[in-house]
Structure 1
Amino acid sequence: MTAYSPLSMVVRIFVPFAFGYFLSYLFRVINAVIAPDLIADLEMGPDVLGLLTASYFLTFAAFQLPLGVLLDKYGPRIVEASLLVFAAAGAALFAVAEDSTALIAARALIGFGVSACLMASFKAFTVFYEPGKLPLVNGFIMAAGGMGALAGTAPTQLVVAEIGWRGGFWALAGLTLVCAFLVYLLVPPTKRPEHKTTLSEQLSGVREVFTSRFFWQVAPVTMMSQASFVGIQSLWAGPWHQDVAGFNRAEVGSHLFWIAAAMVAGFLGLGALSERLGRYGIKTINIATVGLFCFMLVQLGIITEWAIDYPVIWIAFGFFGTTGILQYAVLSQHFPTHLAGRVNTAINLMVFISTFTLQSVSGQVINQWAPTASGGYAPEAYQAAFGLFLGLQAVAYVWFILSRYR
């Protein structure tokens, strides 16, 4: 592979993928801000709202295994640029949708279209960067996603106030097309496999990943922690601040902004910490073990409503919720480079299936309680839904610890 200067690596490799993941995360979290508008305009209940938001994760997850094969065979440049066109079409459809069915279809198309944004970057980084740099550079790309989460809070609130949620999605459709062109034009082509692999050979690589004992040590806790983090942050965090903490819409947007800012700090800080401590022989998996435990403690504070009096708990939620991404680097370092696309998409498949399931079920759980007098959701409903998230994480965490020491 041709050697590139540090500046060229940033401009041609990092920036295009960072822009794509920025948009992917913005699409992911935007419903937390526009949920009141969707409820008011289309009279959605929490069950429909949960399914609408989760539909992004369903198509995202469904395409992960084919995506891994495509990334390893055709490279991240072609795959991501092509899929982003579908994301742009989904955003345009969302902008003109008149009922929940059309909105669900549009969001599902968006999820399919951005399904390569993170995995394509991880694949490119395994090709262009040294293995020891992966936790750090993965942290930087995740921070770009965190900036998308930031943009999906107070800034989105301002945009929606000016041009409405439909106008905002038209703007997103245009930006997504621009990103597709940048990826195609700037990213260097990666080396194709030296021989044309058959579908059977490609699938054997998938089988190698899914039959790995190490993969199943890491996967369950990664699935549950990431699914809980994304499920809460991308939807329920906004309504919780309104219904339980009693904030108005401007205050909700401000608090979501700081949660997203903490997420950016987590991606950057934990990635840099892992890379630095790795020089002293401290493994990334050990840092993840501590961070995942802290994340569960933070959620306990939210469930017990300590977070009402101590909003810093939500900041900690944003910071420690990023810990699960360290496990991607753990897996990338464990498997050979030629399987990088398939191993990352394998864990991503598990994460997003879990996210779709938990976010859909959480909407059903919340719907078991009658709305409050103000039209919001009952505090007990949030406690039940978030308690479900935490319980599943605790079980997976115990498995993770026991399997490591066994």
Structure 2
Amino acid sequence: MLFARIYFPLALGYAISYFYRNANAIIEGDLVQELGLGPADLGLLTSVYFISFAVFQLPLGVLLDRYGPRRTESILLLFAALGAVLFAQAESLSGLIVGRLLIGLGVSACLMAAFKAYVLWFSSERLPMINGLQMVAGGLGALGATIPLQNALSYTDWRGVFTGLAFITVFASICLWVFLPENQRIDEKLPTLKLQFKETGQVLRSHIFWGIAPLAAISSGTNMAIHGLWMKPWLRDVAGLSADNSAQLLFAMTLTLIGGFLTLGIIAERLSQLFDVRPISISVFGMTIYLFVQGTMIFGGIGSPLILVILLGFFGTASILVYAGYAQIFPKNLSGRVSTILNLLVFLGAFIVQWGVGAVIEMWPATSSGYDPESYQAAIGVLVLLQAAGLIWYLISLKISTKQSVLL
């Protein structure tokens, strides 16, 4: 019963957050047609969600550690609802951006509030699996932003969809306020805000934190950008698939994304219990495979678009295990700030990747059906190089860190 009270309200909020994040992948054609957006405009519009999300992560960590997940997330979700209303009523790119910024701010606590609650209420050994279940909820939200959203557009337009989302978001806020327990099992007196920000600086100076953070941020940001926007255009322009077939493959990709979150979480928990293998080691292994799978996209994929999206969906989830790895390393009173600092880097990475891919694609002349396939090769090539640099930095950090055994 306690697990249900904690998990289901947080899962609902995160599912909504993921739907918001990925919805533009389906409605991008409508936005381009109705408002005349170019690829760089589309990349900017979709990525401003990430920048507002990212900017709020440092104060969010302090709020979570000070006031708890219940009050923090339930209030912030009301800003997301307001953003959805403004997005639905927008008549220009600037109006869409304002709405999207508020949505990003409003859902900025949906994952971190859950991770904070789980750290407080459950043992650290269970965190990889429970965090994985939280990510499954996000995957279900992403699933809703594929074929179900495509079908919904047969009955209403994108404006109607976002108006409905505003009401659902308010409902989620109420559920969090009513059902999520307030007691956080913290007996000591709350530290001052000055001390909390000083402790945040300690995290930022930590060699342990910076050993894996760059790779995790770039890998996770790339996964968000590809899955949330650029996979469907790639399937259309490079693989030559129709809009319906592309939506079906996005659906399949999201299913494997859900499977990856759950499976890797279970594997990490079992390996930790049986062989004392840390989640970060499993995460690095998965992110390395993810990097190589992306590399095949430079050359048009691996033959079958279905196999490609399955591999991308599954191994694109590997970076999430870093959060559980940090939770096992840093003290509980810092858990909110550690997670949100990493999340800041992840969403800054997602912002740069999503907008940057659009900017690179726009360097090539548009084709009659979309964008030049060579432009995708260049954009993905840059992403692969960035992730390779992050992997090399991680390997170097194992040798230069005085606490390398913790990273392993």
For the aligned pair, the TM-score class normalised by the smaller chain equals over 0.9
For the pair 1:264 / 2:236, whether they are aligned, the reply is: no
Q: CA deviation at 1:190?
A: 3.1
**Would you say the 8 A contact 1:302–1:314 is kept in 2?**
no
The residue that corresponds to 2:26 in the other structure is: 33
Question: In structure 2, what is the Cα distance between the partners aligned to 1:371 and 1:271?
Answer: 41
**Letter of the structure 2 residue corresponding to residue 400 of structure 1:** Y
**Would you say the 8 A contact 2:86–2:99 is kept in 1?**
yes
The residue that corresponds to 1:13 in the other structure is: 6
Q: Match of 1:371, SS?
A: coil
Equivalent in 30, 37, 59 of residue 66 of structure 1: 59
Question: In structure 1, what is the Cα distance between the partners aligned to 2:86 and 2:121?
Answer: 36
The residue that corresponds to 1:212 in the other structure is: 206
Question: In structure 2, what is the Cα distance between the partners aligned to 1:29 and 1:170?
Answer: 16
After superposition, residues 1-400 of structure 1 pair within 5 angstroms as: 7-10=1-4, 12-191=5-184, 194-280=188-274, 281-374=276-369, 376-400=370-394
Question: In structure 2, what is the Cα distance between the partners aligned to 1:291 and 1:70?
Answer: 32
Query: Cα deviation per residue 1:258-299 (whole Å; 9 max; x = unaligned)?
Result: 000010000000000000111122221221121111101110
C-alpha RMSD of the superposition: 1.1
Question: In structure 1, what is the Cα distance between the partners aligned to 2:301 and 2:64?
Answer: 44
The residue that corresponds to 2:405 in the other structure is: none
What TM-score, normalized by structure 2, do the two folds share? 0.96
Q: CA deviation at 1:91?
A: 0.6
Question: In structure 1, what is the Cα distance between the partners aligned to 2:321 and 2:178?
Answer: 30
Q: Match of 2:143, SS?
A: helix
Question: In structure 2, what is the Cα distance between the partners aligned to 1:318 and 1:309?
Answer: 14
Question: In structure 1, what is the Cα distance between the partners aligned to 2:288 and 2:304?
Answer: 22
**Would you say the 8 A contact 2:239–2:305 is kept in 1?**
no
Name whichever of 117-126 and 159-168 sits farther off: 159-168
**Letter of the structure 2 residue corresponding to residue 267 of structure 1:** F
**Would you say the 8 A contact 1:307–1:314 is kept in 2?**
no
Question: In structure 1, what is the Cα distance between the partners aligned to 2:221 and 2:143?
Answer: 19
Q: Structure 1 residues 53, 308: closer, same or farther in 2, change over 3 A?
A: farther
Q: CA deviation at 1:314?
A: 1.5
Question: In structure 1, what is the Cα distance between the partners aligned to 2:43 and 2:383?
Answer: 15
**Would you say the 8 A contact 2:76–2:107 is kept in 1?**
yes
Name whichever of 279-288 and 226-235 sits farther off: 279-288
**Would you say the 8 A contact 2:61–2:340 is kept in 1?**
yes
Count of residues in correspondence between the two structures = 398
Among all aligned residue pairs of Structure 1 and Structure 2, give the percentage whose two residues are the same amino acid: 43
Q: CA deviation at 1:405?
A: 3.7
Question: In structure 1, what is the Cα distance between the partners aligned to 2:33 and 2:305?
Answer: 30
Question: In structure 1, what is the Cα distance between the partners aligned to 2:191 and 2:29?
Answer: 49
Question: In structure 1, what is the Cα distance between the partners aligned to 2:183 and 2:383?
Answer: 39
Query: Cα deviation per residue 1:6-27 (whole Å; 9 max; x = unaligned)?
Result: x3312x1000000000000010
Q: CA deviation at 1:196?
A: 4.2
